[in-house]
Every structure is written in C-alpha cells, then in structure tokens.
Structure 1
C-alpha cells in the first residue's frame, strides 16, 4: 500500500509539473501496481501527446479515433500487448455490438474498426511513454480468409505505420474465437457493460 501511495504521489507531482513533451519522465515501478488514481494521472498526462503523435503522418484512423465511442472509463493493464496500459475506441459500425461485451455468439459487422491506445511502461527505465495504436478492422473472410475476416494494423507513437505480421496478432486473438476474436477491456473499467 505504501508503495502504491508513493507511486501515486510521484505521478501526481510529475503530472502537475510536466508538459506533454516530458511526460515520459513520470516514474513507475510496475504497471500492475498502478491504482486507478495513478493510471488516470498518467493517462491525463500522456493522452494529448498520444493523439497528436498517432495523427502526425495523417493516417485517417490515427487522426479520428478519439471521436469514436470509448469502451472503458480509463486505460487498464490486462496483460496482452506487452503489459501495456490499454484504452480502446470503437467506430460507429463497431460500437453497438462491441459495447455488449458478449462472451459468445459475437459477429462484428464488416467495417467495424477498433483502435487501442497503449502506454508502454518500462520496468527497467521506470518510465512510461506512449506506445503503439493497435488497430483491428473487420473486412470479411473474402478479404482476410486466414484471419477470420480481420486485418490487424498499428501506428507507432510518431504516426508511422507499423509492420504487422497478421498471423502473429491473430494467433493470440484466436483465444477469443467465440467473441469474434475480440479481447475486451478489463471488467472493472468497461463502459456501459452488460456482460454475459
């Protein structure tokens, strides 16, 4: 408990004096040790830097995802994507179905896009910084037969397109086949959840 309070105090102090350019100086011990208050402070400190960075190269998703439906009250540490803090947004086509957070029988409509912000927490450097924007687009099985109709993509924090091996992403998402290969935010942060 003392460790969590110390981390929160450091985050509050750093966030209170930090500009978007130096938020990466905020120190943490372990992403899983962060409580809700500390995560909120960290996200508030980095969110503008993330949005500006993802949009930097003019990518349409990187420039517009923040206008989409949020799926969580705050980022959460779920374990996938390298133990990053994750925060997902759903476009208009995806939002209604995704926000049900159903455990089975999910079939996302073609045109659904999910954009997942990430904050990378470096244990070695004891620092946090913007991570990639992970993107899933439902294109249908005719266009992506090897990945059940999904295309996986990403943007680096500077807006440059990431090289993404489709099978690498899909092999992990295969664990959620009944959910149309979708991972969801942690239950405690889900927005408007009606879990099954």
Structure 2
C-alpha cells in the first residue's frame, strides 16, 4: 500500500499505529509524531523523516535506503533485520535504541546522542561512526570495514567476530580492549599506535608485522 504524508496523518488520527507492507518511498514525513508505531516490511527509500518523534518505534524487516532521519527522536527505538544502507542519522537521539541484523553500509551517524545504543550482527561497512563510544561493550559480528571510526572509544570493549579492516582509526582508543576476535587487516603503521594497551593474539601480531613487511622468525 502506497502512503503519502496526508494519508499517514489520517491513519494516525484514527489511532492506527501498526503498518504492514506500506510504501513511504520519497515521502516527506518531517516532524510527524510516530511514537510507538510499528512498521513491518515497509519501505522508506529516500524518505525524509526530519525531526520526527519516533521514540519506542519498532522497525521489522523494513527497507530505508538513503532515508534521512536527521534530528529525529529515536530513543528506545528498535530495528530488526532492516536494510538502511546510506541512511542519514545526523543529530538523532539514539539513546537505548537497538539495531540487530541490519544493513547500515554507508550510513552517516554524525553528532548523535547514543548512550546505551546497541548494534548486533550489523553491516557498518564505510559508515561514519565518528565519536561513538563502545566502552566496555561486547560487540558481536559488526563489520566496520572501511568505516570512519575517528575518535571512537573502544576501551575495555570485547570484539567478537568483528572486522576493523581498512577502518579509519584517527584518535581511536582501544586501551584494555580484547581484539582477539577481530579482523585487523589493512592496518597502517600510523594505526598501530591506536592499539596501545589492547589485547591481540600471537597470530594477529604476526599478521600485522607481515603486512608491514617484517618477518617474524
């Protein structure tokens, strides 16, 4: 079912908060109150959700390629199995939000408030995650390949099945982090400083030195 802003507003006025297989593609839904809404197998491709109230909303197997969530309130929102490649999240409120089994390749998380936000089994390839704090978190199956992790805090975090291959690690902190379950391929000599105090395996150390042209005898 195709739904534009006016039709959605009518549905909301009638008390409807559960939407299944609806298309909101290219719609401008800026500033709408969508708190507690459930979206199931809906599409939001290139949809504008600027400053929407989306607290406690639930997104199940939705597609939102290049969707723009700028300045939206997504506190305690939950995304499960969604395709959100190249989506924009600038200045969103993501406190206690969760992303599980989601595709977020190329997503831009700029200046977001994210205390308690959870990412689990997600693709974050090429994503802009600058300034995120994952301190003391256990990270499971996150692919940060080619992501910009500048200024991120991974201190005391445990990375299980994660990839940091070719990620940007300027001013990133890993003190006391357990990186034995992470792919550290593609590191440059300047990146090695970021891993000061982190725990890595003998195999990882040998691989890092090998990529730098050194032979471990």
Decide: shared fold, TM above 0.5. Answer: no
Q: TM-score, normalised by structure 1?
A: 0.30
Higher share of residues assigned helix: 1
The higher radius of gyration belongs to 2
